[in-house]
Amino acid sequence: MKGLETVIGSITCLGEHVRDRHTHYELRGHVGPFPATIEIPGYVADAFREKYGKPIEQSGRITVTADFLRNDQLIAECQNPYRSASHLTGSIRSDSDISIN
């Protein structure tokens, strides 16, 4: 697609800041000056639990790396009307995108 620019970035936080959203987990932070949200699918959280022996929410300090798109670059159905156009949204597909610090 023309005009889409992905941003690769990381959010570092404590695992207790990862929120369970029933169908996925969310982590919010900033990538540079921009607010960002990373969606962590349930199967990635399950793989993390298998790999490290504890849930992601109890893992201490973690870094999650993802490719992000701006809210205004998402298709209309996926844009969040309550977020700014510059809000970054990313999703990971593997537990290898999460590291314990």
CATH number of the CATH domain containing 38: 2.40.50
Q: Is residue 53 part of a domain?
A: yes
Q: Is residue 24 within a helix (H) or strand (E), and if so which, with residue range?
A: strand 24-31
Q: Is residue 92 part of a domain?
A: yes
Could you tell me the pLDDT band of residue 3, with boundaries at 50, 70 and 90? Answer: low
Q: Which is higher by pLDDT, 1 or 43?
A: 43
Model confidence pLDDT, tens digit, residues 44-98: 999 999 999 999 999 999 999 999 999 999 999 999 999 999 999 999 999 999 9
- Domain housing 46: 7-100
Q: Is residue 21 part of a domain?
A: yes
Q: Is residue 1 part of a domain?
A: no
Number of domains in the chain: 1
Could you tell me the pLDDT band of residue 1, with boundaries at 50, 70 and 90? Answer: very low
Model confidence pLDDT, tens digit, residues 27-46: 999 999 999 999 999 999 99
Q: Is residue 89 part of a domain?
A: yes
pLDDT at 25 over 90: yes
Q: Is 0.95 surpassed by the pTM of this model?
A: no
Residue 52, C-beta contacts closer than 8 angstroms, at least 6 positions apart: 59, 100
Q: Is residue 2 part of a domain?
A: no
